[in-house]
Amino acid sequence: MAKNKHKKTESFDFNGGWDYSPSPESTSHVKLKERYELYIDGKFVAPDSGKYFQTTNPATEKVLAEVAHANEADVEKAVSAARKAYETVWSKLSAKERGKYIYRIARLMQERARELAVVETLDAGKTIRESRDVDVPLACNHFFYYAGWADKLEYAFPNRKVSSLGVAGQIIPWNFPLLMAAWKIAPALAAGNTVVLKPAETTPLTAMLLAEIIHESGLPAGVVNILTGYGDTGAAIVNHPDVNKVAFTGSTNVGKIIQKAVAGTGKKLTLELGGKSANIVFEDAPIDQAVEGIVNGIFFNQGHVCCAGSRLFVQESVADEVIRKLKDRLDTLYVGDPLDKNTDIGAINSREQYESIKKYIEIGKKEGAEMYESKCSLPKNGLFIRPTLFTDVAQSSRIAQEEIFGPVLTIQTFRTIDEVIQKANNSPYGLAAGVWTDKGSRIFNLTTKLRAGVVWANTYNKFDPTSPFGGYKESGFGREGGLHGLGAYLKIEN
């Protein structure tokens, strides 16, 4: 029996005999507007340019709504509203009252949780299971968590003098639209700052729902301003001289542009950028759990995750077994309608991202790596990619070095711990890593040697508002979440 363990013929065909019945989430409780305006100084206002752009559902490529394209004049209005609100209201309010507003936003988000989840799924292509069970609850939790800190800043940083910074300019990406808005807005408000936030162009809708929620919470006008737009809108926020703090999550390329733009201005900066995180499986690991962790690490949210475990390292002695089980598991994953509660992998966020992932799959093949993709059927329309993995990957190959940001895993093997540490750290990025082993001492050894902001042991993609998150090297700097995330929005003096 043991001898035959790695035989290919033992593969299972899970998809052959039966299928799930469709189980689509209802959208009847969601009424999207045809058009969303900018949220400036407590009012929903038309953009200065009169220009709007469309956001689509990537699962169908149909238009969902149009949103305003903010220009420099709108940014000027939003920043001066945020400045006025900071000087006249928000910084004058007692910390306890500030906390109450943040708490109220969290409660209102919970009340509209189902609507937020459905809209997130429609606009971003992510599965309803994810937006319902991960994104929306975590976004609420961020507001709850930071609401608690608002009146306890002196306990958060004992024996230090802490003060707010002023106006925070925040730019967020499309992979976790509502959650990233929460990561940015909640600590900024708790620390006593006011906010100008720009969501990503392909996923602006939950940010506009959040603007409605913030409005309903009675938060004083101008404390939070939300501007939709493209990169030019983001650049105008970053470059505005009256912004005191810039927080950006997105690509490393744009992060570099922003770092240059902010240099010498005195603006405080945090950058949360790309990644190419290593997920490392040792021979003593619980293999079945590790396979689940590998799947979660790379296929969660279609692989549109900055900390995705996109580089798998398997110890040579168990490589055959892990790869065989992984291929079996790949074939059980449901790719399709993101609104269906059975779906494991939804739609790729945008056509641009779809083309980019496809390009990387071609590059992988040309580089000589062996590709395996699941045998699942794909919907006729919309932007879908089968879960894909590459074996025989060279360390120097582009698919092992560059961020693909899609459901594509590269697999390499290793023999010794020193070898895997070297390989894992041989990347321009340093955001996260995963380690699968039964041995506690090995976990501690690796967590100190891996140059990654977060190291998960025998799990992957675990998030909590109390836990700081952020990277090294080209993955950026500064931390979000926890006390560290609060500190990023404060001036801390001795």
Q: Which residues bind ligand NAI (CB under 6 A)?
A: 171-175, 198, 200-201, 230-231, 234-235, 238, 249-251, 254, 257-258, 273-274, 306, 353, 356, 403, 405
User: In terms of CB distance, is 276 or 329 closer to ligand NAI?
Assistant: 276
User: In terms of CB distance, is 14 or 230 closer to ligand NAI?
Assistant: 230
Q: What DSSP letter does each residue of 400-427 carry, written as one string?
A: HHS---SSEEEEEEESSHHHHHHHHH-S
- Classify residue 17 by burial, with Cβ atoms within 10 Å: 0-12, 13-18, 19+: exposed
Whether 376 sits among the annotated catalytic residues: the reply is no
**Cα angle, residue 49 at apex, residues 43 and 50 outer, rounded to 5°:** 70
User: In terms of CB distance, is 41 or 120 closer to Mg ion?
Assistant: 120
Q: Are 375 and 15 in contact (CB under 8 A)?
A: yes
| Marked catalytic residue, from 306, 307, 376, 474 | 306
When CB distances are held under 5 to 8 angstroms depending on the partner's kind, the choice from Mg ion, ligand NAI, none that residue 314 binds is none
When CB distances are held under 5 to 8 angstroms depending on the partner's kind, the choice from Mg ion, ligand NAI, none that residue 251 binds is ligand NAI
The string over 340-352, giving b where at least 16 C-beta atoms fall within 10 Å of a residue's C-beta and e elsewhere, is: bebbbbbbbbbee
When CB distances are held under 5 to 8 angstroms depending on the partner's kind, the choice from Mg ion, ligand NAI, none that residue 356 binds is ligand NAI
- For residue 362, what are the CA distances in angstroms to 306, 388, 400? 22, 12, 13
| Marked catalytic residue, from 272, 403, 474, 480 | 272
CB of 80 to ligand NAI, least distance (A): 19
User: Which letter does DSSP use for residue 38 in this model?
Assistant: E
Residues contributing to the site for Mg ion (CB under 5 A): 55, 123, 202
The separation between CA 233 and the C-alpha centre of its own chain, rounded to angstroms, equals: 21
CB of 247 to ligand NAI, least distance (A): 11
- For residue 170, what are the CA distances in angstroms to 226, 271, 351, 370? 10, 10, 25, 41
User: In terms of CB distance, is 300 or 405 closer to ligand NAI?
Assistant: 405
CB of 178 to Mg ion, least distance (A): 13
User: In terms of CB distance, is 116 or 172 closer to ligand NAI?
Assistant: 172
Q: Which are the contacts of 422, defined by CB distance < 8 A and separation ≥ 6? A: none
CB of 214 to ligand NAI, least distance (A): 19
Please, how many CA atoms are within 13 Å of residue 243, restricted to the half-sphere of its CB? 28
When CB distances are held under 5 to 8 angstroms depending on the partner's kind, the choice from Mg ion, ligand NAI, none that residue 294 binds is none
Neighbours of 253 (CB within 10 A): 11
CB of 254 to ligand NAI, least distance (A): 4
Whether 306 sits among the annotated catalytic residues: the reply is yes
When CB distances are held under 5 to 8 angstroms depending on the partner's kind, the choice from ligand NAI, Mg ion, none that residue 123 binds is Mg ion
For tokens 């006249």, the residue is 88
Positions marked catalytic: 272, 306
